[in-house]
């Protein structure tokens, strides 16, 4: 009787291990493309959270997204939201704040800066993470361009023309 129980436990352990391996494989590779509504909702939430994190900026409403082809997938679309705002706030401080915020959200942030002499310094960064919207910004003494791209979603760019 104990050998039958041991076999059942072993079989259960093998099934559980196989299931966990399958699920972790999907998570590691990003799984399939997201549903359009989910991809848009995640991107808008990420954009709004980012804008709310920098409350000193007079952000405009969330814009209508552009639709682009997924460059890292065979099929699918991404929805890109661009928010552009003029501001004379401290560009270095805003860049540092956004970089810290995105890092705290689990994104890998790659910042850079370039000094354009009399035109000032341009701060920029890209932020990426698996299965999340992507962010990037360009910040200067004249203003901010904030970009958020959704995860890759089902569909084709022609579906949105």
Lowest mean pLDDT among 1-5, 14-18, 123-127: 14-18
Give pTM, 2 decimals: 0.76
Residue 161 has pLDDT above 90, yes or no: no
Short-list 158, 30, 137, CA closest to 81: 137
Rounded distance, CA 32 to CA 44, Å? 20
pLDDT of residue 55: 87
Residue 139 has pLDDT above 80, yes or no: yes
Could you write out the DSSP letters of every residue in 129-149?
Answer: -TTS-EEEEEE-SSEEEEEEE
Average pLDDT over residues 128-148: 95
Structure tokens at 130: 């698996």
Q: 33-160, what's its fold?
A: TBP-like (3.30.2030)
Residue 161 gets which letter from DSSP? -
Short-list 68, 31, 33, CA closest to 156: 68
* Core vs surface per residue 30-54: b (16+ CB within 10 A) or e: eeebbebeebbebbbebbeebbeeb
Q: What is the pLDDT of residues 37-69, one digit of tens each?
A: 999 999 999 999 999 999 899 999 999 999 999
pLDDT higher for 19 or 95? 95
Rounded distance, CA 132 to CA 3, Å? 47
Mean pLDDT in the chain?
Answer: 82
């Amino acid at each position: 009787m104990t050998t039958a129980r041991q076999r059942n436990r072993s079989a259960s352990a093998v099934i559980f291990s196989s299931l966990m391996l399958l699920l972790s494989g999907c998570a590691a590779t990003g799984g399939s493309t997201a549903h359009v509504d989910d991809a848009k909702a995640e991107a808008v939430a990420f954009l709004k959270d980012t804008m709310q994190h920098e409350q000193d900026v007079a952000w405009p409403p969330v814009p209508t997204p552009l639709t682009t082809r997924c460059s890292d997938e065979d099929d699918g679309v991404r929805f890109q939201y661009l928010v552009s705002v003029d501001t004379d706030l401290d560009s270095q401080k805003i860049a540092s704040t956004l970089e810290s915020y995105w890092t705290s959200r689990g994104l890998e942030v790659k910042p850079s800066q370039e000094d354009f002499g009399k035109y000032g310094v341009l701060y920029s960064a890209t932020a990426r993470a698996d299965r999340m919207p992507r962010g990037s910004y360009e910040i200067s003494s004249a203003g901010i361009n904030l970009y958020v791209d959704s995860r890759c979603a089902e569909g084709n760019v022609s579906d949105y023309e």
